[in-house]
Amino acid sequence: MKEIAYISGDFVELDKASISLEDRGFQFGDGVYEVIKLYDGILFKGEEHFKRLINSAELIRINLDYSVEDLKEIAFEVIKRSDKNKSGSLYIQVTRGVAPRDHNFSYTLEPTLVMYLLPPKSLPNEIREKGVSVVTLVDNRWGCCNIKTINLLPNILASQEASEKGAFEGIFISDNDIVLEGTGSNIFIVKDGVIITHPVTNKILSGITREIVFELARERFSAVEDPFSLEDLYNADEVFITSTTKEVLGVVEVDGKKIGDGVVGDVTKELNVLYREYKSNPDNF
Ligand code: PDD
């Protein structure tokens, strides 16, 4: 099986691909990334993800000399040249580039651009139907969570903690008890028929799935972007999380407390169906 990676101009076999020890991504986590879902070898919302990548790079002052079209072309080549299952995801990483170790950086560095395919991470249907449990954790991240940085230490530690507590996902809560997002997902609640999710600020990543689901929710139900508290989360009728790989996933337990009747709610189920319909329409890619 041939797995091909793109590294700054070259297409190489994944197991032969290498990065310099002095790449600033390796040394400082100085870079940004995206994960794009593939359906039968076609990027789902490629445009939106590449725009977000370019924006994240700009926000950390990386001069990325690639347009959305350039990035799409490279992605297309990686997919074409790889034998890997084409229903996984495309991983894209941009770092500031290679330089002798120094906290300060030069704007003349050539950014490192990497793309390769990740295997499918599909959830067993049983988990989707039953829903998952989550635990809440104090948000100890920096103040720019709108940037999709590869510097994911707080996220991976929180995810590990959640997993060791037997939960599927960890949910970050701010100092003043506001529910922000998951370690790798956005979160929604449903209360008295209204769907609520945290507004797009620097406290959360503006998820592409969140955006699609919010629009679908607005068309079919009543949906608002409003901060909500931990108390609201515990008392919600329904809770669900969204991400590129998790799609729409019902949450039935938070910190050991049952949500609603402890089963995936009707609104969540319906949004799941609407999301599946949406992604099965090629016009929406
Ligand atoms: N994570 N919030 C955080 C902190 C995330 O890392 C992610 C995605 C999301 C959801 O964004 P989107 O709907 O655009 O995937 C929200 C990806 C999937 C990851 O790190 O693997």
Domain boundaries, the chain: 4-118, 125-284
- How remote is the CA of residue 6 from the centroid of ligand 1, in Å? 22
Q: Is the CB of 205 under 6 A from ligand 1?
A: yes
The closest alpha carbon to 240, from 267, 203, 261, 222, belongs to: 267
Whose C-alpha lies nearest to ligand 1, atom 12?
A: 207
- The CATH number of the structural domain formed by 4-118 is 3.30.470.10
How do residues 25-62 score in pLDDT, each as one tens digit?
A: 999 999 999 999 999 899 999 999 999 999 999 999 99
Whose C-alpha lies nearest to ligand 1, atom 6?
A: 184
pLDDT at 60: 98
Task: Tell the CATH superfamily of the 125-284 domain.
Answer: D-amino Acid Aminotransferase, subunit A, domain 2 (3.20.10.10)
pLDDT at 2: 79
Look at residue 1 and tell me whether its pLDDT is greater than 70. no
Based on DSSP, count helices (H) and strands (E) in the chain, helices before strands: 8, 15
pLDDT at 17: 94
Look at residue 195 and tell me whether its pLDDT is greater than 90. yes
- How remote is the CA of residue 50 from the centroid of ligand 1, in Å? 14
Q: What is the DSSP letter of 44?
A: T
37, 148, 203, 246: the active-site residue: 148
Q: Could you confirm whether 72 is annotated as catalytic?
A: no
Percent of the chain with pLDDT over 90: 94
How do residues 78-103 score in pLDDT, each as one tens digit?
A: 999 997 768 899 999 999 999 999 99
Q: Given this chain, do its domains 4-118 and 125-284 carry the same CATH topology?
A: no
Whose C-alpha lies nearest to ligand 1, atom 11?
A: 207
Q: Please list, residue by residue across 147-162, b when 16 or more beta carbons sit within 10 angstroms of its beta carbon and e when fewer do.
A: bbbbbbebbeebbeeb
pLDDT at 83: 79
Percent of the chain with pLDDT over 70: 99
How far, in Å, CA of 278 to CA of 283, rounded? 9
Q: Is the CB of 206 under 6 A from ligand 1?
A: no
Question: Helix 266-279 and helix 208-220: axis angle, to 10°?
Answer: 110
pLDDT at 121: 83
The predicted model gives 231-252 an average pLDDT of: 97
